Amino acid sequence: MELIRRGKVREVYADGEDVILVASDRVSIYDVVLPTPIPDKGAILTQLSLWWFRQFADLVPNHVISEDVPEEWRGRAIRCRRLEIIPIECIARGYLSGSGLVSYRESGTVSGIALPPGLDEADRLPEPIFTPTTKEEEGHDQPMTRADAVALIGEQAAADLERLTVELYTRGAELARERGVIIADTKFEFGLDPAGVLTLGDEVLTPDSSRFWQASTYERGRVQDSYDKQVVRNWSASLDWDRTYPGPEIPDEIAALTRSRYLAIYEQLTGQTWPGALTSA
């Protein structure tokens, strides 16, 4: 097979008219891939994405064909339709945190959207908002306004992306809340299939693309405990490391804790037990 693209945590291969999206166990922070893999990470991301694709099947077509992939990638790869990827990261925010909070504190807006005064860390927004960014090959994606998106892809395409992003986030957030999970924000990726149909691609509502909080411990006004690679970021903050390549080796206990977080959110959302899941970490 032909390797089309190798990203920080994924490879994309061509297989005839199809592509095979392979999720590795690599983890990156601050745009640096660390040398230590997180066991089962790629499989967890893949299986959780497949679960979400099924939940959204009536809202938008997706790129999934099957899990018919080479045995070496079984469980962590998806056979997909080729898409012409739209060069916008489609971010939905239901709560104020991260870069959205930074922007709000500076200007009272996020991606040009004015928000009510007096909001604090982790506050729920009056309604979910669409806050797109650029899709950079290297370095950090840059914030965009809706007007920027319109200038790049046109009014109708931008409106379709905004509508679908908010609809998918809203349904996902409702399903997650029923299971005790808050989805503070997430990103989606869309493309056009060979017939020109807008199609959901990449990964969906995983710990690598979303900010997950436990509803039982949620408290506005403070930084929440996220179920993602924040464990690795927190550990790295204690090091004398300048956040450039090469990154440090992750200790076994930090890798195990990160794996347990990924497993916990998978099991809580899907209601399915992961084979061989850790009982503690």
Q: Which domains does the chain have, with CATH numbers?
A: 84-217 (3.30.470.20)
272 SS3 class: coil
**pLDDT of amino acid 275:** 82
Q: In angstroms, rounded to a whole number, what is the distance separating the alpha carbons of residues 274 and 124?
A: 31
Phi, psi (rounded to 5 degrees) for 11: -120, 150
Q: How far is CA 222 from CA 95, 123, 199, in A?
A: 12, 9, 37
* Reported confidence tier of residue 277, pLDDT bands at 50, 70, 90: very low
Q: In angstroms, rounded to a whole number, what is the distance separating the alpha carbons of residues 18 and 179?
A: 35
Q: What mean pLDDT is reported for the chain?
A: 94
Mean of pLDDT values over 76-101: 96
**pLDDT of amino acid 1:** 86
Assess whether pLDDT exceeds 80 at residue 101.
Answer: yes
User: Which of these, 25, 19, 24, lies nearest to 2 by C-alpha position?
Assistant: 19
Mean of pLDDT values over 232-261: 94
Token pair of 129 as six digits: 């908002």
**pLDDT of amino acid 141:** 77
Question: Dihedral angle at the C-alpha atoms of 122, 226, 31, 233, nearest 10 degrees?
Answer: 110
**pLDDT of amino acid 279:** 36
**pLDDT of amino acid 139:** 61
138 or 258: whose pLDDT is higher?
258
**pLDDT of amino acid 193:** 95
User: Which of these, 30, 38, 5, lies nearest to 201 by C-alpha position?
Assistant: 5
**pLDDT of amino acid 276:** 55
Tokens 């908002």, residue? 129
pTM of the model: 0.93
Assess whether pLDDT exceeds 60 at residue 192.
Answer: yes
Mean of pLDDT values over 94-111: 96
Asked if residue 41 lies in contact with residue 27, where contact means CB atoms within 8 angstroms, the answer is: yes
Question: Dihedral angle at the C-alpha atoms of 253, 281, 215, 262, nearest 10 degrees?
Answer: 70
